Amino acid sequence: MLEDKSPQLTPISKLGEFGLIKHLTAHFPVMQDSTKVAVGDDAAVIDAGSSKMVISTDMLAEGVHFNLGYVPLKHLGYKAVAVNISDIAAMNATPTQILVSVAVSNRFPVEALEEIYSGIALACNRYHVDLIGGDTTSSNAGLVMSITAIGLQDENKIVKRTGAQENDLLVVTGDLGGAYMGLQILEREHSVYLANPDMQPEMEGYDYILERQLKPEARTDIRKKLEELDILPTAMIDVSDGLASEILHLSDQSKVGFHLYEEKIPMDSTMISTAEELNLNPAMAALNGGEDYELLFTISPSDFDKIKNHPDFTVIGHATAESSGNYLVASGSNQLIPLTAQGWDAFLNGE
């Protein structure tokens, strides 16, 4: 009989809940002076000093937000942190701490959770945030992760969704639609694999959009760039559910309308060519795809000269009177097309 040389995996039951927490978090150093009590007590203690504390939380559920058929666990851990840090960046704040809660079924060994937490650790180092606590529990429905992100900022520098004024310029960072197109490639290749496991996935040439989907980055760099330009946005949001949806959020919260110019939407060449390959409209992918985690914000028209030639920013529209509504101005024809929220909704898309 051949000797079984496969690695022996550790059942979570061997460590127990508190042993598991200690095992997974033992190598997370404290990097922030404001972290007074981290993992191991009933609650974390954070000294905010003169700054205001900003807190956001998000949940990722297997089968709804991710498919472990093609999402590596390490990438999942990293992405779970990045998408929460993005919410802090959207408030113009500096991320400082996170809390991680995981519900997991018994089909996952300890080594699987180690992979997830290795991705979390990479993100903590990348964004210089401390892991200060969380929770673990069992699950009958696969893997569920919930992350709470905490940040700090002076009260007069915090940017909300409510401050946009009529005639303000609508600005977005980076490019849009890449994450959605990366998802289309992953879904396509996964379907091919399920139909024929001997088929090799065709991933060559899609590196950029695959990374946009599997390992997105929060735009924590934007706060400093805007500060250097002496610009404080009047309103801001991150692009998690699609550009159209986020514009409608800003419209609702700020009580203004928006005109978005299709020809101004920044799109990467790989994203465009992939969309055309799959017979999809690139602009629609940017409008409704989601998960780009770029920042969408408004600025006073007087700040246009400061931002107009900056490579990180694209002016894509302007605010109008609320009564004017929200429209996409079509390329070429200048036809006004009503903006509708067709982006990601977990409850609708999860059905």
Strand locations in 128-234, DSSP E? 130-138, 144-153, 169-173
- For residues 180 and 289, the answer to whether their CB atoms sit within 8 Å is yes
Q: Rounded to whole angstroms, what are the CA distances from 263 to 68, 232, 282, 284? A: 36, 26, 11, 12
The pLDDT of residue 41 is 59
The pLDDT of residue 200 is 80
The two three-digit tokens of residue 200, written as one number: 């090799």
The two three-digit tokens of residue 183, written as one number: 């998802």
Q: How far apart are CA 225 and CA 335, in angstroms?
A: 35
**In which band, very low, low, confident or very high, does the pLDDT at 22 lie, cut at 50, 70 and 90?**
confident
2 pLDDT more than 80: no
56, 249, 46, 34: which is closest to 158 by C-alpha? 56
6 pLDDT more than 80: no
The pLDDT of residue 5 is 66
Mean pLDDT of the chain, nearest integer: 91
Share of the chain above pLDDT 70, in %: 94
**In which band, very low, low, confident or very high, does the pLDDT at 85 lie, cut at 50, 70 and 90?**
very high
Angle, helices 269-277/178-195, rounded to nearest 10 degrees: 40
The pLDDT of residue 351 is 40
The pLDDT of residue 38 is 81
pTM: 0.89
Residues 145, 148, 151, CA angle at the centre, nearest 5°? 150
The pLDDT of residue 48 is 83
160 pLDDT more than 70: yes
One-letter-per-residue 3-state SS of 62-78: ECCCECCCCCCHHHHHH
- Tens of pLDDT along 124-134? 999 999 999 99
The pLDDT of residue 253 is 92
Q: How far apart are CA 128 and CA 83, in angstroms?
A: 15
The pLDDT of residue 350 is 46
Amino acid at 230: D
Instruction: Count CB atoms within 10 A of the CB of residue 82.
Output: 24
**In which band, very low, low, confident or very high, does the pLDDT at 338 lie, cut at 50, 70 and 90?**
very high
- For residue 207, give the 3-state DSSP assignment: helix
Q: Tell me the backbone φ, ψ of residue 63, rounded to 5 degrees.
A: 90, -15
The two three-digit tokens of residue 236, written as one number: 């801001």
The two three-digit tokens of residue 252, written as one number: 């609702």
313 pLDDT more than 90: yes
The pLDDT of residue 13 is 85
343 pLDDT more than 90: no
111, 75, 74, 80: which is closest to 98 by C-alpha? 80
The pLDDT of residue 21 is 82
280, 263, 284, 281: which is closest to 333 by C-alpha? 263
Q: Which domains does the chain have, with CATH numbers?
A: 12-157 (3.30.1330.10), 169-349 (3.90.650.10)
